[in-house]
Amino acid sequence: MSKSLKKGQVLVEIIFTIGIAFLVLLAVVAGTIKAIRSASFAEDKARASSLAEQGLEEARIFRDRNSWADFQAWEKTDQLDEGKFSRVISVTSPYDDDNYKALVEAVVSWDDTGGSHQVSSQTILSLWRQ
């Protein structure tokens, strides 16, 4: 083999090696970005679940401090965590044809780079004191 052919072969091998290294680096970066997004989504979902449960607790407190008629008509919408999450707490009554039971639902929604998401939590509250 001539000297110029060896130099050309070495150049091709270097370009090929750089290409492979670039593809490996690209795969590592893409995997890291996906892992960060997944961790962020998991954190947001856990926070949203907590906010939904807090919403149900707010409904219990409202029921305990107000009349049953006021509670049945109650609904609350609020923005939480500097507007990142939106929460709607609603009361559906009567529940199961029982005027002394109400279905309470708290729905928390948020947007991120993956789209729109929501978490909901429900409970049944009753008129436990008269």
The pLDDT score that the predictor gives to residue 53 is: 98
- 8-state DSSP, 98: B
What average pLDDT does the segment 78-97 reach?
A: 92
Q: Are 18 and 24 in contact (CB under 8 A)?
A: no
Q: Are 95 and 28 in contact (CB under 8 A)?
A: no
Residue 102 has pLDDT above 80, yes or no: yes
Residue 91 has pLDDT above 70, yes or no: yes
The pLDDT score that the predictor gives to residue 95 is: 77
DSSP string, 44-89: HHHHHHHHHHHHHHHHHHHHHHS-HHHHHT-EEEEEETTTTEEEEE
Summary mean pLDDT of the chain: 91
Q: What percentage of the chain carries pLDDT values higher than 70?
A: 95
What average pLDDT does the segment 85-100 reach?
A: 89
What average pLDDT does the segment 106-111 reach?
A: 97
Q: Does pTM surpass 0.85?
A: no
